[in-house]
Structure 1
Amino acid sequence: MKNIDASQQKILELYSNYVLRNNKKPLNVFTFCEDHEISETDFYFYYANFEKLESDYLRFFMEETLRLIAEEENYHQQNAKHKMLSFYYTFFEQLTMNRSLVIYLLESDKNNLQNVKRLLPLKKDFQLFIRSLDISEPMMENTTESMAKIERLKNKGIEELYWGHFMATLKFWLDDTSSNFEKTDIFIEKSVDTSFEFLEVKPLKKLVDLGKFLFKEVKNNR
């Protein structure tokens, strides 16, 4: 794995092998370390518990995806929609290569993924990626504090909207039984396309513009 040392990689590999063979967590950190001749001190140096360790797998798939798409020819010249498609196709390719592990990590919670704590670090990374696409509009220099609050609320809404879409795609992939998960690819294409059509209509921008107008009118009429 990227950005980890040999000791941490050993812990992750031993843990993934254990849960895939036994379909359950080890009894506790002590037994896991004793069975694999690892120092508990070494384990706790990296992870406070098994849940923190499990979230590292999902973050790795995210990091690896971002690294791979950044290396694609002309990626940085592509528009936001094509960058998002590249991200989705590459991310779910990473998951497919590790499907057994991902199913173990998420299967029991797949109907309520929004509340899975181990996904929170992944959410932060994903929202940073969404911000990098510049889907949201920058605030103008003369923006008032009230207008700025509306802009921040709109931008946060866009991030939450796409996180919900990401969770829906993950759930679809977990349930997908089609050959080579081709239905997930179709879902990605159609849903990303629809989401950008929604943004191009700019209902949120129109709402913000209305808010700006109302604030201006209230200020002028004081």
Structure 2
Amino acid sequence: MTSSSKKRTIDRMYIISEYMNYTLEHDGYPKSVYKFCKDIRIKEEEFYKFFGSIESINKSIWSMFFSTTIDAMTKNNEYASFNSREKMLTLFYTLFEMLTLNRSYVLFTLKQSDLPFKNLKQLQGLRIHLKDFAASLIEEDNEEKQFKFTKNPVSVFSEGAWLQFLFLLKFWIDDESPSFEKTDVAIEKSVNTIFDLFDNTPLNNVLDFGKFLWKEKIMSN
């Protein structure tokens, strides 16, 4: 007789999915690998095929958000023809759509400690991926510039992209607008401002972005 239930495939994504569900259902991280594996009914050796610790899952989840975002972007046939500004906008829009789909987990895991830097430790892998992405964009733009003095500093741009993400993440966490519409506006304005700064035409958009932030601050008080 054939079993009506299919045998589970224990892989990286299965463990991540079970882990995210576990943290939300128990309102806390597993106390140990042993406890987690026992609760989701897998063997410890199956866990260790993919992860070395509970903490490593936290970091892997954020890297997964990024890789899934890149996969979704590159499946769009038009993406290859986008310029750097459009690619960065697409990245942030898609990444925050991904975070919104997993908002309960993201809010949970970013508020586990009273020390903000401790909560951000899990974003180390994401930071590397995002900075590499931003660096590749500015390097592509620099290749098209004939004179060295017109080329933009890659390290400054990539670090700025990471700080920009942290700002947008905080904005999204606090955003209570329908469908997080204000976050979309913040993404558009912030990305355009950064690129205008590097294109040496910053004034109007910088002032516009500043007015937007000031208005949001006043409205939230």
Whether the TM-score (by the shorter chain) exceeds 0.5 is yes
- For 1:42, give the aligned amino acid: E
The residue number in structure 1 matching 2:181 is 182
1:145-156 matches, cutoff 5 A: 154-156=153-155
Task: Name the Cα RMSD after superposition.
Answer: 2.9
Would you say the 8 A contact 2:11–2:50 is kept in 1? no
Is residue 113 of structure 2 the alignment partner of residue 137 of structure 1?
no
The residue number in structure 2 matching 1:54 is 58
Is residue 37 of structure 2 the alignment partner of residue 33 of structure 1?
yes
Aligned length: 192
1:87-102 matches, cutoff 5 A: 87-102=91-106
Secondary structure, in 3 states, of the residue corresponding to 2:129?
helix
Would you say the 8 A contact 1:59–1:121 is kept in 2? yes
TM-score (norm 2): 0.77
| Identical-residue share of aligned pairs (%) | 33
The residue number in structure 1 matching 2:73 is 69
- For 2:132, give the aligned amino acid: L
1:1-222 matches, cutoff 5 A: 6-108=10-112, 112=116, 116-134=120-138, 137-138=142-143, 154-201=153-200
- For 1:13, give the aligned amino acid: S
Secondary structure, in 3 states, of the residue corresponding to 2:166?
helix
Residue 198 of structure 1, CA deviation: 0.5
Would you say the 8 A contact 2:65–2:99 is kept in 1? yes
Shift in CA distance, 10/72, structure 1 to aligned 2, threshold 3 Å: closer
Would you say the 8 A contact 1:107–1:174 is kept in 2? no
CA–CA distance in 1 between the matches of 2:40 and 2:130?
A: 34
Shift in CA distance, 114/189, structure 1 to aligned 2, threshold 3 Å: farther
- For 1:117, give the aligned amino acid: K
CA offsets per residue over residues 74-110 of structure 1, 9 Å max, x none?
A: 2111111111111111111111111111111213469
Secondary structure, in 3 states, of the residue corresponding to 2:111?
helix
Secondary structure, in 3 states, of the residue corresponding to 1:116?
helix
Higher RCO structure, 1 or 2 (CA under 8 Å, sep 6+): 1
Structure 1: segments with no counterpart, 5+ residues = 204-222
CA–CA distance in 2 between the matches of 1:34 and 1:78?
A: 48
Would you say the 8 A contact 2:168–2:186 is kept in 1? yes
TM-score (norm 1): 0.76
Deviation beyond 3 Å, 4+ runs, structure 1: 108-115
Shift in CA distance, 82/170, structure 1 to aligned 2, threshold 3 Å: same
- For 1:24, give the aligned amino acid: G
Would you say the 8 A contact 1:62–1:125 is kept in 2? yes
- For 1:44, give the aligned amino acid: Y
Secondary structure, in 3 states, of the residue corresponding to 1:197?
helix
Compare 171-180 and 36-45 and name the one that shifted more. Answer: 36-45
Structure 2: segments with no counterpart, 5+ residues = 1-8, 203-221
CA offsets per residue over residues 167-205 of structure 1, 9 Å max, x none?
A: 1111111111111101100100111111111111189xx
Shift in CA distance, 110/86, structure 1 to aligned 2, threshold 3 Å: farther
Residue 113 of structure 1, CA deviation: 5.4
